[in-house]
Amino acid sequence: MDKSKYPIERLYIAKRPNTRPGTRLKTGTPAFFVAHDTGNPGATADNHFTYFNNLTDRSASAHVFIDDTKILEIIPTDTGADPAEKAWHVLYNVTTDNDQFGYDANDAALGVELCYGGRITFSEAYKRFVWYLAYCCDKWGKNPSTHIASHKQLDPARKADCEQALKAGGKTFKDLITDVAAELAAPIAPPDFTPLPDGIAQALIDNYVSPAWFAAQKVGDEVGKTHFHNLANNLRMAAGIPMTHEGAAAPMTKLPKSNAQEIIFRWLSPAWFNAKASGDKTAMMYFNNLANYLRIAAGIPEE
């Protein structure tokens, strides 16, 4: 699955016995997942953070609130650096969770809440809900068919979630489980470019871009200096070369098409024509090869 499709945001509510007791799950890591909806149409993830951060008159909470723009963990789940804690999202005196999973949900499960209704776009919130549940199944090796329960399934006498919110968006609980399984199995889309080999990027910088920068500096051409500085940085990013001496991992980024075209027209093409004029076939192939590396790093067809 694509684990970086959506960011997981974390803003924890204050510890308090009725909402966030601060105690670890009995199982250490989450053993199963309870799919809820908030039962509060139109209220967003941020609204629920505020609500539970201020709740004092009853015991209730859940770990995660998901709306059409964000996935917000308000109690630690262990998806990040903080170990999973208990939340109060299923009554202790219901026994379905104990029969099915061997634990009370509050002691072993994550409570995952779908925000819906009002101005919340169902399709966007649902996509994030599906992805988050798939992310959790992937992280802890759980099967969506057996390790995700709806609140309604655990407490049918009192509860209708998350089926009621799904129904509002034209989905069933079965659809949810199928969609989570599909998300889990989805291949990661391959990038539409090939990173520039770092030796090639460095050679292009040393042979062409750096000399152009120095030439611009010599004549006081500030625009030219900035341009060649950016061009060198884009080449480094296309090769994943760290840009600082601290060596922070640089994300590999597609080379802008205009950069590839500029380097080809400004330097490689003239060099190729010179090589051709002097009958140097080896040099012709060398410059052609460099140009092709630039083309595929920019996601344009080779020539």
For Zn ion, which stretch binds (CB under 5 A), given 34-42, 168-176, 178-186, 267-275? 34-42
For Zn ion, which stretch binds (CB under 5 A), given 30-38, 115-123, 134-142, 269-277? 30-38
Least CB distance from residue 262 to Zn ion, whole Å?
Answer: 57
Token look-up 């991992």 returns 249
Cβ closest to Zn ion, residue 41 vs residue 256: 41
For Zn ion, which stretch binds (CB under 5 A), given 28-36, 98-106, 128-136, 268-276? 28-36
Q: Does 152 bind Zn ion (CB under 5 A)?
A: no
Residue 150 bridge partners (DSSP): 35
Least CB distance from residue 1 to Zn ion, whole Å?
Answer: 25
Cβ closest to Zn ion, residue 128 vs residue 151: 151
For Zn ion, which stretch binds (CB under 5 A), given 118-126, 158-166, 260-268, 283-291? 158-166
Least CB distance from residue 29 to Zn ion, whole Å?
Answer: 22
Window 161-200: contact mask with Zn ion (x via CB under 5 A): x---------------------------------------
Q: Does 36 bind Zn ion (CB under 5 A)?
A: yes
Least CB distance from residue 171 to Zn ion, whole Å?
Answer: 17
Among 128, 151, 236, 295, binds Zn ion (CB under 5 A): 151
Cβ closest to Zn ion, residue 36 vs residue 142: 36
Least CB distance from residue 18 to Zn ion, whole Å?
Answer: 16
Counting residues that bind Zn ion (by CB under 5 A) gives 3
Least CB distance from residue 36 to Zn ion, whole Å?
Answer: 3
Residue 24 bridge partners (DSSP): 85
What is the 3-class SS of the chain, one letter each residue?
CCCCCCCCEECCCCCECCCECCCECCCCCCCEEEEEECCCCCCCHHHHHHHHHHCCCCCCCCCEEECCCCEEECCCCCCCCCCCECCCCCCCCCCHHHHHHCCCHHHHEEEEEECCCCCCCHHHHHHHHHHHHHHHHHHHCCCHHHHEEEHHHHCCCCCCCCHHHHHHCCCCHHHHHHHHHHHHHCCCCCCCCCCCCHHHHHHHHHHHHHHHHHHHHHCCCHHHHHHHHHHHHHHHHHHCCCCCCCCCCCCCCCCCHHHHHHHHHHHHHHHHHHHHHCCCHHHHHHHHHHHHHHHHHCCCCCC
Q: Which residues bind Zn ion (CB under 5 A)?
A: 36, 151, 161
